[in-house]
Amino acid sequence: MGKSVEEIREIFKKPINRKWIQKAREQEERIAFHARVKVDDVRTKPALDFLNRVKMWIAPDKYEIFNSMFHFPVKTNEVTSEIFDKLSRVFDGRNPAFNYQFTDSEDRDDWEYYRQEVLKEPHVWATDGWDNFKDRINSVLVIDLPEVQQGDKPEPYFYFIDIASVVSYETTKEDNNLMSWIMFKTNDERLIQIDDVFYRRFKVEKNNSLTLEVESTHDLGYCPSRFFWSDSISLQEPDIKKSPLTKVLDSLDWYLYQSTAKKHLDLYGAYPIYSGYEQDCDYVANGGKERCNGHGFLIGDKGEYIADMDGQPMKCPVCSSKRLSGAGSYVEIPVPNEQQPDLSDPIKMLTADVSALQYNVSEEERLKKNIITSVTGVGGEVQKETAVNEKQVQASFESQTTILNRIKRGFEEAQCFVDATVCRLRYGNTFVSCSINYGTEFYIYTPEQLAERYKVLKESGASESELDAMRTQIIETEYRHDPTQMQRLLILKEIEPYSHLTREEAINLYKENVISEEDLRIKLNLPTFVRRFERENMNIIEFGSNIDYSNKINKILETLKRYANEQTTLPGASA
C-alpha cells in the first residue's frame, strides 16, 4: 500500500531511521579517508579526527612536526589501492553465467540488446558498482523510469544514491536489504519518494514544505529500491553495511601514523644533530638597541626578539652564517674553562641509530602486509619458499577464493535485483526469472607467479598430471582476454610430446633410449611442423571443427609423425 502525500509530508518533518543514516555516513567518511585519493590538503572531519588522536599520543612539539608532514594523498591510499586491485578479480571469473528466462523470444533478444547497450552491463558493475563498493558501501540502488516514454516499451534505468542524500527510509520485514519505501534529495532541491505503488517528485520550498510536481505508478508490487550491499556489520545494526575495510580501519589509522612519523626519523637519519662550543658575538647596532643574543639572532634592549618583514626572528649578520643552515639540529655547549676542562672534539655529530631506522622500515612493511593479508586472504603472493609446500599454497588459494566468493555474492544479489526489476518494468509478465553467477573460479595468481610455482613443482618431482593442470592454468590466465590464442596454445600443448621437458632434457633422454626418435623429432621441430600443417591444411583451431576433439588431436599428430619420418637428420641430437 503506497504512502499518501500527507504521510510523506509528515515523515519529511520527522524522518525515520536518521540515526542509522548518520552512523552509515560516519563509517563511509572514515573509509573514504583511507580509500579515496585526494590531492588537496583540505582537512576534512576524518582527517581532523585522526590528527586529534595523534595529538593525544605524542608531545606537543612532536605533534607540530607530525602535522607539518601530514599531507594528501595519505600513505594508506597505496594500501587500499592494492587491496581493491586484488579484490577486483571478482569480475574476472573463469566461468560466469547470466541466465534470463522469458516466455517471448523477441523480448529475450531485446533484453540482451537493452542490458548491454543501454544499461551498459556487465561493465557498469565493474566501474560504477566498484566505486560504490570501495568507499560508499552504504549507498542505495534505485530503479527509475523516465517521465516521458520515448519508444514502444518502457525504458527503466538504475543509479546509485549516496546514503548522505537519503532523508528517510524503511526496509521490509522479510528482508532488511529491500526498501519498503524511501525518500531522498536531489541536487536541484527536489525530493524523490518511491514506494511499492508510486514514483513521486516534490519541490522543497524555502519554508521546508513539499509541493507535489510529478506522480506516477508502477505495477511491481514492491519498492524498486534496495541497499546496494547486503552484508551488515552485525545483527544489531543491519542497516550499517560491512565494507572489506571495516575491520581494519583502526589498523589503517595506526599504519598512517607510523608511516608519517617515520618521515621525521628519515629526516633525522639524513640530517643528524651537531653540537659545538658556544660562540661569543659582540655585535651591537643602533646605539645598543639591537644586539646578538649569542645564538645567532638579534634582540632588542629589553631582551625581546627582533622580527624581520616575514615575522621571523632576525638573524645576526655576523655569526649566523657560521652556524648550521638547512635541515638538521645544532646544539651549543658551554666552553670549557679551568674548573671544567673538556678534552673531547670541539665539533660533534650524533647520528641516528641504524637498528632504529631498520626497525621502522621493517615495521612499516609488516603493518602493510598484515592489513592486506587480513582483507584479501592469507598469503597474498606466491613465494618460492612457500610454493614448495603445496598445502600452504592450497590454503592461501582457498582463503582468497572464500573472500572473493563472498564479494561476488553481494554483486550477484544487487545485479539480480536490478535486472529483474528492469525486466518487469519493461516486459511485464513475459519475464520469468533471472540467475546471475560471476563464476566459481578466479584468476587469483598472475602468470609470473604461476610460472614460478610450476618451476618449483617440476623441481620437486610433481606428477605429469599436476604439471599438466598447472600448464593449463598458466595458459588460461595469460590469455584469458584472448580466447583465440588461448585455444591455439591449448591445442599445441596437446600435440607436443613430453611438453614438460626442455629441449636439452629431451635430447639427453633420447640418448639414454628413454624416448623415441619420432617423438624427439616432433618436439624439436614442432613450430616448423605446425606451420607446414597449416599451409597444407588450415589453421589448427579451425581444422577438425566438425569432429570430436580427441579425433582432431589424433589426426594432427598422425600428420606430424609423417613429417618427422620424412626427415633424414636429427638437429641438435648428435652424440
Higher-confidence residue of 267 and 493: namely 493
Q: Does 478 score more than 90 pLDDT? A: no
Q: Does 572 score more than 90 pLDDT? A: no
pLDDT tens, 30-68? Answer: 999 999 999 998 899 999 999 999 999 998 888 988 999
Q: Does 573 score more than 80 pLDDT? A: no
Question: Residue 438 carries which side chain, given as an amino acid letter?
Answer: Y
User: What pLDDT is stored for residue 74 in this prediction?
Assistant: 95
Instruction: Quote the CA–CA distance of 226 and 81 in Å, as a whole number.
Output: 27
Judge contact between 437 and 97, C-beta under 8 A.
yes
Q: Does 386 score more than 80 pLDDT? A: no
User: What pLDDT is stored for residue 384 in this prediction?
Assistant: 44
| Averaged pLDDT for residues 71-95 | 92
Instruction: Quote the CA–CA distance of 168 and 215 in Å, as a whole number.
Output: 19
User: What pLDDT is stored for residue 575 in this prediction?
Assistant: 44
| Averaged pLDDT for residues 541-564 | 92
CA dist 449 → 41, 91, 283, 325 (Å): 39, 20, 69, 50
Instruction: Quote the CA–CA distance of 109 and 421 in Å, as a whole number.
Output: 17
Nearest CA among 232, 204, 220 for reference residue 142? 220
Nearest CA among 484, 265, 476 for reference residue 357? 265
List % helix, strand, coil for the chain (3-state, nearest 5).
50, 15, 35
User: What pLDDT is stored for residue 147 in this prediction?
Assistant: 87
Question: Residue 422 carries which side chain, given as an amino acid letter?
Answer: V
Contacts of 13 (CB under 8 A, 6+ apart): 208
pLDDT tens, 325-380? Answer: 444 455 555 556 566 555 455 555 556 666 766 877 889 999 999 999 999 986 54
pLDDT tens, 121-162? Answer: 999 999 999 999 999 999 999 999 998 888 899 999 999 999
Number of Cβ atoms within 10 Å of the Cβ of 557: 14
Nearest CA among 134, 158, 162, 568 for reference residue 375? 134
Percentage of the chain lying above the pLDDT 70 cut: 87
User: What pLDDT is stored for residue 36 in this prediction?
Assistant: 95
Please list the residues that pair with 201 across neighbouring strands. 192, 214
Nearest CA among 378, 407, 395, 470 for reference residue 89? 407
Helix (H) / strand (E) element for 456: namely: helix 447-459
Maximum CA extent, the chain: 111
**Predicted confidence band of residue 389 (pLDDT cuts 50, 70, 90):** low
Question: Residue 524 carries which side chain, given as an amino acid letter?
Answer: L
The number of angstroms, rounded, from the C-alpha of 338 to the middle of its chain's C-alpha atoms is 68
User: What pLDDT is stored for residue 459 in this prediction?
Assistant: 86
**Predicted confidence band of residue 174 (pLDDT cuts 50, 70, 90):** very high
User: Does this model's pTM top 0.85?
Assistant: no
Q: Does 438 score more than 80 pLDDT? A: yes
Number of Cβ atoms within 10 Å of the Cβ of 253: 19
Question: Strand 225-227's sheet: what is its strand order?
Answer: 157-161, 140-144, 225-227
Contacts of 480 (CB under 8 A, 6+ apart): 92, 94, 443, 486
Would strands 329-333 and 157-161 be described as parallel, antiparallel, or unpaired? unpaired
pLDDT tens, 176-206? Answer: 999 999 999 998 889 999 999 999 999 999 8
- How many residues does the structure list for the chain? 575
Alpha helices in 331-431 (DSSP H): 354-376, 384-387, 390-427
Would strands 347-350 and 210-217 be described as parallel, antiparallel, or unpaired? unpaired
480: helix, strand or coil: coil
Contacts of 158 (CB under 8 A, 6+ apart): 119, 141, 142, 143, 144, 418, 421, 422
Judge contact between 275 and 313, C-beta under 8 A.
no
| Grid cell at residue 335 | 666552553
Nearest CA among 87, 90, 100 for reference residue 439? 90
The number of angstroms, rounded, from the C-alpha of 23 to the middle of its chain's C-alpha atoms is 24
Q: Which residue reads 519475464 in cell numbers? A: 431
User: What pLDDT is stored for residue 351 in this prediction?
Assistant: 60
Contacts of 162 (CB under 8 A, 6+ apart): 136, 139
Nearest CA among 79, 66, 85 for reference residue 35? 79
Instruction: Specify the DSSP class assigned to residue 247.
Output: G
Phi, psi angles (nearest 5°) of residue 449 = -65, -40
Question: Residue 497 carries which side chain, given as an amino acid letter?
Answer: P
User: What pLDDT is stored for residue 177 in this prediction?
Assistant: 96
| Grid cell at residue 159 | 543509479
Instruction: Quote the CA–CA distance of 99 and 101 in Å, as a whole number.
Output: 7
Q: Does 439 score more than 60 pLDDT? A: yes
pLDDT tens, 522-536? Answer: 999 999 999 999 999
**Predicted confidence band of residue 310 (pLDDT cuts 50, 70, 90):** confident
Phi, psi angles (nearest 5°) of residue 323 = -100, 175
**Predicted confidence band of residue 385 (pLDDT cuts 50, 70, 90):** very low
**Predicted confidence band of residue 316 (pLDDT cuts 50, 70, 90):** confident
What value does the mean pLDDT of the chain take? Answer: 87
349: helix, strand or coil: strand
Higher-confidence residue of 295 and 388: namely 295
User: What pLDDT is stored for residue 393 in this prediction?
Assistant: 63
Q: Does 383 score more than 60 pLDDT? A: no
Sort 266 into a burial class: Cβ within 10 Å, 0-12 / 13-18 / 19+.
middle
CA dist 463 → 70, 457, 458, 524 (Å): 54, 9, 8, 23
User: What pLDDT is stored for residue 380 in this prediction?
Assistant: 46
pLDDT tens, 483-492? Answer: 899 999 999 9
- In the structure, how many helices (H) and strands (E) does the chain have? 18, 16
Instruction: Quote the CA–CA distance of 176 and 174 in Å, as a whole number.
Output: 7
Instruction: Quote the CA–CA distance of 90 and 86 in Å, as a whole number.
Output: 9
The number of angstroms, rounded, from the C-alpha of 158 to the middle of its chain's C-alpha atoms is 24
